[in-house]
Structure 1
Amino acid sequence: MKKMLKRAITAAAMVGILAGCASEEDTVIMAPVPKVKSEFTPKSLWSASVGGGVEQYFSKLAPAYAYDKVFVASRDGLVKALNPENGRTLWQQDLEQDVSARLSGGITAAYSQIFIGSENGQVIALSEETGAVNWRVDVDGEVLAAPATDDNLVMVHTTTGMLIALEQATGDVKWKVSTEVPNLTLRGDSAPVAVSGGVFWGTAGGRLAAAIIESGQLIWQQPIGTPQGATEIDRLVDVDASPLILGSTLYIVGYNGQLTAIDLRSGKPMWKRKYSSSTNLASDTKRIYLVTDKDHLIAVDARSGTELWANDQLENRLLTAPFVIDGYVVVGDTQGYLHWLDRESGEFVAQQQINSSGFAVAPIKLDDGYVIVTRNGQVKKLTLTQ
């Protein structure tokens, strides 16, 4: 399914265009909920809420765990710090001003602050201790992806193809890097990743870019996908997934592109495999897990890229990025189910419906459990420990 197109085409117009071109064979059908005999049922430790959540909007507001707090946010601007032991609110901040805050990029915790971006083209820094707003700055374009932090900088990737480095203490711009943005792209952007003095991110033009953090100098761009086809939709090659780094190897995947392993020292590909995805990768260090554009779950060997298993039983269920919890691969879907798979075989081992509003983001791991946030803002801490 061509998910969430942006730039110059409204949702209504897009539906009309696609409906006019579609045949019965082109109809997208969501797979039914697989019948699974659950081997376990997670225990709920506490439940909380964060406003109305993100509802059905495109807002990748994954929670964050840092400074012994769980940070959550809603699209309309409510930000909370929760006690990880009992879910009680430690502080809350409302970032809505004259219009909806439209929070969508974040949450990232560093430098005793949390950083969040918005569709209004703002980056906001809050004190992790009190929730007070330390600074709020305007940037060029929407911020749909979580910022990266390193070397006292906050680096944000915007929909205009800019990677912008802000001083963490003041929000002042230190440098900018610009990359090409095609006329038509997917709704979403790659969250940058910083490591060893470099920052890496995917671009809307189908490339993985690398720059020096200190100066913003662009080092190289590696093609992940090449535009092909007769229409602009066929030629979409966005790299919206965040790079995944294991040791000295970087893994990245693109829409209509390839899953690629890149040596960080040389910037050269080690292997490539034909997969199409716009969703973040997950790993247990031995295997790379991905969700394809058809919502097939795939596991490949991290060293060679050899496919180990594939599970297509959740096709078109609008899955979250995969996540590894207690040795299982976990994904959420649009109807609020969590699906647990054996990481060795890809077979289902458990399933629960948490909330019918569905999931937009994967769970996050805590020391003694994990936290999930549903689209309607329900926050839960669960554990598999009996």
Structure 2
Amino acid sequence: MTEQSRGLTLAWRVGAVMLAAAVVAGCGSASKPKPTPLESFTPSQTVRTAWTARVGAAEGPLSLAVSGSTVAMASTDGQVVSLEVETGRERWRAAVGSKLSAGVGSDGRFAAVVTSDNELVTLDEGKPLWRDRLPGRVITAPLVAGERVFIQSVDRSVRAYDALDGRWLWNFARPGVDPLSLAQNGLLTAFRDTLVIGTSSRMIGLDPTKGSVRFEVSLGLPRGTNEVERLSDLVGPAARSDDDLCVRSFQLAVGCVNMNRGTMRWSRPQSGHQGLAADDQVVVGADSADRLTAWRADSGDTAWRVDRFQHRGLSTPVIWSGLIAVGDSEGQLHFLSPQDGRTVARLSLDAPLSGAPRVAAGHLLVATRAGTLYALRAQ
């Protein structure tokens, strides 16, 4: 391939990512429906703020990385911070020196981010360890596990590095996939000793030491007359329900895959672009109009559906301390009952969420676009 053709390929991929972002954003705000007004309710649950920390603003999707009793957070301007979940005490803080396009991934010791110049930066307890120039753009946060760093590019290829010395280990790419990809975190996670990735509407389990395929499951067949209509990438993060991983395929479906057998437990059609929440009882997610649905985890049957959050720009939800927590585009954090979806509490944040909420050491951790990390406790 010539340098000119490489440039054209990269330009197409970047343009595809921008186009996918427009799809998610609704292609402008002029015709966007008005959010449903906030409901009046009598709180029956108390949620309090245990501590907060300031890191820096997040202009795009930046993920929290939880490992044991620590949480790592990054800002768009390249600040990376690790804190103790129980107290909020800062363990270390580092400046990468460049704006970030993806991050942060961490196993508690190593942390990895990707800059807007396509450079993978790995830290060891906050100290710069090594850097590597990547061949393509990265939006999905790196995964750090087993002293390895895994990267998923917008072309859906996955690269593995040795966390200690930056040695390149292997590359996985599925040929023949659509060139258009979704401009948000994709599926890149671990389940026991299997690396789990998303390629279009397919969940693929890989051997993390060699990059060889262990299983492959499709959430459905994309339909449409063009690349935008066929866009069906799996949206991260996945949610765990016992031995299942439950995930959304953009515009297509939600479903749960049994990881012991590498087979589909159930799938249901639903158009949406945010991830799911799950426990051993229910799987919860919002559709493209922000109607929130709960499915029974074992069968996929609908348990309940609520439409009082329509067009409020719901985030990825999370199940925590017997509650469902979900943010909206006005910076409100709603807490619902998993049994029937009624609202039991609400908390106002300083800005909308910058990524999916996380749970660690009994705390609910939510980071906002303004750069504040909240650690919440239920009473």
Cα distance between partner residues in 2 of 1:101 and 1:191 = 23
Q: Does 1:382 align with 2:376?
A: yes
Partner of 1:199: 195
Aligned-pair CA distance for 1:265: 4.1
Partner of 1:333: 328
Equivalent residue in structure 2 for 1:101, among 99, 103, 119: 99
Classify the secondary structure of the residue corresponding to 2:229. coil
Q: Does 1:48 align with 2:45?
A: no
Instruction: Give the 3 Å change call, closer, same or farther, for CA 337–19 of structure 1 in structure 2.
Output: closer
Partner of 2:74: 73
Instruction: Output the amino acid matched with 2:78.
Output: G
Partner of 1:3: none
Partner of 2:114: 117
Instruction: Give the 3 Å change call, closer, same or farther, for CA 333–7 of structure 1 in structure 2.
Output: same
Q: Does 1:36 align with 2:41?
A: yes
Instruction: Give the 3 Å change call, closer, same or farther, for CA 152–92 of structure 1 in structure 2.
Output: closer
Equivalent residue in structure 2 for 1:353, among 325, 339, 348: 348
Cα distance between partner residues in 2 of 1:295 and 1:19 = 17
Q: CA RMSD in A?
A: 2.8
TM-score (norm 1): 0.84
For the 8 Å contact 2:86–2:361, the answer to whether it is kept is no
Cα distance between partner residues in 2 of 1:231 and 1:222 = 23
Aligned-pair CA distance for 1:383: 1.8
Classify the secondary structure of the residue corresponding to 1:253. strand
Instruction: Give the 3 Å change call, closer, same or farther, for CA 248–382 of structure 1 in structure 2.
Output: closer
Cα distance between partner residues in 1 of 2:51 and 2:242 = 36
Partner of 2:15: 8
Aligned-pair CA distance for 1:307: 0.8
Which sections of structure 2, spanning at least 5 residues, go unmatched? 1-12
Aligned-pair CA distance for 1:81: 2.5
Cα distance between partner residues in 2 of 1:14 and 1:354 = 26
CA deviations over 1:344-367 (Å, ceiling 9, x no partner): 001111112121x21122333232
For the 8 Å contact 2:66–2:107, the answer to whether it is kept is yes
Which sections of structure 1, spanning at least 5 residues, go unmatched? 1-5
Number of equivalenced pairs: 362
Cα distance between partner residues in 1 of 2:252 and 2:376 = 36
Aligned-pair CA distance for 1:184: 2.9
Classify the secondary structure of the residue corresponding to 1:72. strand
For the 8 Å contact 1:63–1:373, the answer to whether it is kept is no
Aligned-pair CA distance for 1:368: 4.7
Cα distance between partner residues in 2 of 1:265 and 1:45 = 37
For the 8 Å contact 2:158–2:173, the answer to whether it is kept is yes
Aligned-pair CA distance for 1:138: 2.1
Cα distance between partner residues in 2 of 1:149 and 1:201 = 14
Aligned-pair CA distance for 1:65: 4.9
CA deviations over 1:107-152 (Å, ceiling 9, x no partner): 3225x22222344323222223xx1111222223233223334443
CA deviations over 1:160-193 (Å, ceiling 9, x no partner): 2111111121121100101354233321242322
TM-score (norm 2): 0.85
Classify the secondary structure of the residue corresponding to 1:272. strand
Partner of 1:209: 204
Partner of 1:263: 258
Instruction: Give the 3 Å change call, closer, same or farther, for CA 200–81 of structure 1 in structure 2.
Output: closer
Cα distance between partner residues in 2 of 1:265 and 1:311 = 33
User: Alignment identity in percent?
Assistant: 24
